[in-house]
Structure 1
Amino acid sequence: MKWGVWIWAGRGSVGAVPALPGQSRGKARRDYLTWLFARGILPPHGAYRCVQLLDLKGKVLICRNYRGDVDMSEVEHFMPILMEKEEEGTLSPILAHGGVRFMWIKHNNLYLVATSKKNACVSLVFSFLYKVVQVFSEYFKELEEESIRDNFVIIYELLDELMDFGYPQTTDSKILQEYITQEGHKLETGAPRPPATVTNAVSWRSEGIKYRKNEVFLDVIESVNLLVSANGNVLRSEIVGSIKMRVFLSGMPELRLGLNDKVLFDNTGRGKSKSVELEDVKFHQCVRLSRFENDRTISFIPPDGEFELMSYRLNTHVKPLIWIESVIEKHSHSRIEYMIKAKSQFKRRSTANNVEIHIPVPNDADSPKFKTTVGSVKWVPENSEIVWSIKSFPGGKEYLMRAHFGLPSVEAEDKEGKPPISVKFEIPYFTTSGIQVRYLKIIEKSGYQALPWVRYITQNGDYQLRTQ
């Protein structure tokens, strides 16, 4: 007996589906799904029918109709409905036309649309669409219209493995990359077998991995989202964190990661120690959730290479790391002057790198003149902004920039309001939340020594300060 492809069973677990001699793995998979439907194990109405990738004009680039019961012309109604809802201000991620529902997301210059005639599990649909974006991005580096046009064959292969008969199947890119490569899919004689990782207890990691030098790199990356009003009040602030790893370890190692988690410290009587209360924690499928729930230890057998171990959020008051004060004087029919003061409000031992302060200017401004105490200033007329770049911004420092623009004698009516100032930065060896890696243990039966490396980075997210 040969083996067909596998059934998705939640949290990435998979099981092999047996195929009869002469039966393709796709046929085996569909027959098994039909058998599950007949016994009520999988409800037929839970599936969705068709996945399509559209350009910004609504033209279909890729279409995969999994059930064959949705008219291919139905997607022609998607873009007109989307534009109509957008004009009305009632746009939602689920649109309807007749008996067909469109569930969609936008990524770069693409729309990813799933269609269904019956009620479908909406959370599953959107999780799948975002997973498609992730897988395609890992294959093609950048997911956009051009990369779609250059990789039609591989994309259809991926869509056939990602989903079958309207149900998600293998969505782990590391497994997919074992048998769908960018060099093309070579046809083999005889019945193909699924990759070993599919039938392993640990589907995300292959057996027999060997490295001459065993190393683990762990990055704690926090993005700060901030919105400050024109009078200096913080309207919104949050920290979005991610722990990313690059694993180069031989064999089947088990890793144990300890953080200064508030729940753990409270449970063990260390409530006075410096700790962080994490919210909206999301783990990679390799993490043993039962172990984390019991003693807050993050225990896992990692995938090989690069992956995101976990993400988290802290909806808390954040002191602005880089504070901007702006004075804008507009002299009617002649000129506009800017005085921008930037101040770093983090510890002196830290330094922000590659700081960019984006200051909006009128569309009709011209004849720019700049003066700054540090860095460089550039006018970007196509974006109607000036960019003040500071390569190195130490903590506790304050810098000043002045700009002068000429204005036309006929003043245009200001209909668009005043866009906010936005700031980009990166601060190494620093986290806003105070999260710390207490330990990273590497356990492997051969007992080899491995080198763990930990790095902290804080960067801007959606970081905006409104002007007067």
Structure 2
Amino acid sequence: MAGAASALFLLDIKGRVLIWRDYRGDVPAAQAERFFTKFIEKEGDPQSQDPVVYDNGVSYMFIQHNNIYLMIASRQNCNAASLLLFLHRVIDYELLDEIMDFGFPQFTEAKILSEFIKTDAYRMEVTQRPPMAVTNAVSWRSEGIRYKKNEVFLDVVESVNILVNSIGQIIRSDVVGALKMRTYLSGMPECKLGLNDRVLLEAQGQTSKGKSIDLDDIKFHQCVRLSRFENDRTISFIPPDGAFDLMTYRLSTQVKPLIWVEAQVENHSRSRIEFTVKARSQYKDRSTATNVEIELPVPADATNPNVRTSIGSAAYAPERDALVWKIKSFPGNKEYMLRSEFTLPSITAEEAVPERRAPIRVKFEIPYFTVSGIQVRYLKIIEKSGYQALPWVRYITMAGEYELRLT
């Protein structure tokens, strides 16, 4: 890493130092406090939004968390992105002396850092050894882990993001996926995961029974051996203990909306408004969406709701200015309807500006289904003691930012 932090400061909303940790002794607290107080007073200055500022030989990097500013100052030519990431980790860990060593960030797993934390007042004696994972090459996993029953749970979770404009055109469409693991394994297990990845199958001269996939923006947990993946597309790793995201990815091809919603809005004599809503599932019959929730925006002054639905239940939520239609089970290739009527104030200004309606928001989950078609071909677990561990794999697709705008 190029350069290191000089000090870390926690400041209040007015820029006054609450607490600080001096790592290198070349940026005094008074200097940082004077700079930051002037900086936050620059209201309206576009540069005041920048998280990195250089002033008088010192680089200042900061983020805000609730009413506290966390700021790192450095006199060296530092890696600003790394230090900003470090500040976000500070919010999670709050172990200033363990996650930074003489100004150099140490990105240690939270489960390993928890070994430093005790419920009672505690000071590590000089004669005590640090946790094994701090000195071990596998820094994300401690040695000596034991379970009576060795299990691995792998959830393939995909979130669908859709934005449809008021004339029915899709203006945003993508899928963000994650392989979420929970491992309860003894010892130091070696895991190998195989997917229906097109590049891998072609390299091995194999064909998949289903379709092969192309994924973008693949990111791995630090436990994955990247050199091995780059050489032969094998996902090989020693997993952390417990829950972690093994891999995230994105599917950039345009996705057909899984649940399509159309709404017609009619105003009657300025005293009544009527909604007709159609919801249609656009996936195959063998799949079923669960916990479907369609949030239909209504005017803030609407009263006396009268609602009829062909399935599920609908309730007026005045605190959200919305009618919420809930459907527990929504099979594929089905269409359902909702009709609702609200009373409006009978007196309105003739030149009132038309109210801009919020979009329709949709939530759902579809188990045993992925948009990308990703499949776990195998998950092998090898440990020197020779125990057998049964992996459990689940697939689920859910709504992310899923919005359809009204006219």
Residues 448 and 96 (structure 1), Cα distance of their counterparts in 2 relative to 1, 3 Å cut: closer
Matched with 1:129 is: 87
> Are 1:457 and 2:393 an aligned pair?
no
Asked if the contact 1:291/1:298 (under 8 Å) is kept, the reply is yes
1:80 Cα deviation after fit: 4.4
d(CA) in 1 for partners of 2:67 and 2:147?
39
Q: Which amino acid aligns with 1:94?
A: P
Matched with 2:267 is: 330
d(CA) in 2 for partners of 1:399 and 1:289?
48
> Are 1:286 and 2:242 an aligned pair?
no
Asked if the contact 2:7/2:72 (under 8 Å) is kept, the reply is yes
Matches within 5 A, 1:249-398: 249-270=185-206, 274-398=211-335
Matched with 2:105 is: 168
1:84 Cα deviation after fit: 2.5
Matched with 1:211 is: 147
Asked if the contact 2:159/2:400 (under 8 Å) is kept, the reply is yes
> Are 1:445 and 2:390 an aligned pair?
no
1:270 Cα deviation after fit: 4.2
Gaps of 5+ in 2: none
Matches within 5 A, 1:387-426: 387-411=324-348, 413-414=352-353, 417-426=356-365
d(CA) in 2 for partners of 1:369 and 1:97?
60
Q: Which amino acid aligns with 1:52?
A: L
TM-score, normalization by structure 1:
0.77
Matched with 1:34 is: none
Q: 1:327-382: per-residue Cα shift (whole Å, max 9, x none)? A: 01123521211111111111211111111111111222222221111122122222
Asked if the contact 1:78/1:102 (under 8 Å) is kept, the reply is no
Matched with 1:429 is: 368
Asked if the contact 2:63/2:71 (under 8 Å) is kept, the reply is no
d(CA) in 1 for partners of 2:233 and 2:330?
37
> Are 1:84 and 2:44 an aligned pair?
yes
Asked if the contact 1:48/1:167 (under 8 Å) is kept, the reply is no
Q: Which amino acid aligns with 1:50?
A: L
d(CA) in 1 for partners of 2:15 and 2:259?
43
Gaps of 5+ in 1: 1-41, 137-154
d(CA) in 1 for partners of 2:18 and 2:252?
39
Give me the CA root mean square deviation.
Answer: 2.7
1:436 Cα deviation after fit: 0.4
Deviation larger for 166-175 or 292-301: 166-175
Residues 61 and 230 (structure 1), Cα distance of their counterparts in 2 relative to 1, 3 Å cut: farther
Q: 3-state SS of the aligned residue for 1:255?
A: strand
> Are 1:94 and 2:51 an aligned pair?
yes
Instruction: Considering fraction of residues, name the structure with more helix.
Output: 1
Q: Which amino acid aligns with 1:393?
A: F
Residues 373 and 311 (structure 1), Cα distance of their counterparts in 2 relative to 1, 3 Å cut: same
1:58 Cα deviation after fit: 6.1
Deviation larger for 287-296 or 414-423: 414-423
Q: Which amino acid aligns with 2:80?
A: V
d(CA) in 1 for partners of 2:53 and 2:267?
48
Q: 3-state SS of the aligned residue for 1:317?
A: coil
1:60 Cα deviation after fit: 7.2
Asked if the contact 1:114/1:125 (under 8 Å) is kept, the reply is no
d(CA) in 2 for partners of 1:279 and 1:245?
20
d(CA) in 2 for partners of 1:206 and 1:245?
17
1:290 Cα deviation after fit: 0.8
d(CA) in 2 for partners of 1:95 and 1:168?
17
Asked if the contact 1:219/1:457 (under 8 Å) is kept, the reply is yes
How many aligned residue pairs are there?
Answer: 397
1:161 Cα deviation after fit: 1.9
Matched with 2:71 is: 114
Q: Which amino acid aligns with 1:404?
A: E
d(CA) in 2 for partners of 1:47 and 1:251?
37
Deviation larger for 192-201 or 452-461: 192-201
1:415 Cα deviation after fit: 6.5
d(CA) in 2 for partners of 1:373 and 1:324?
15
Residues 327 and 439 (structure 1), Cα distance of their counterparts in 2 relative to 1, 3 Å cut: same
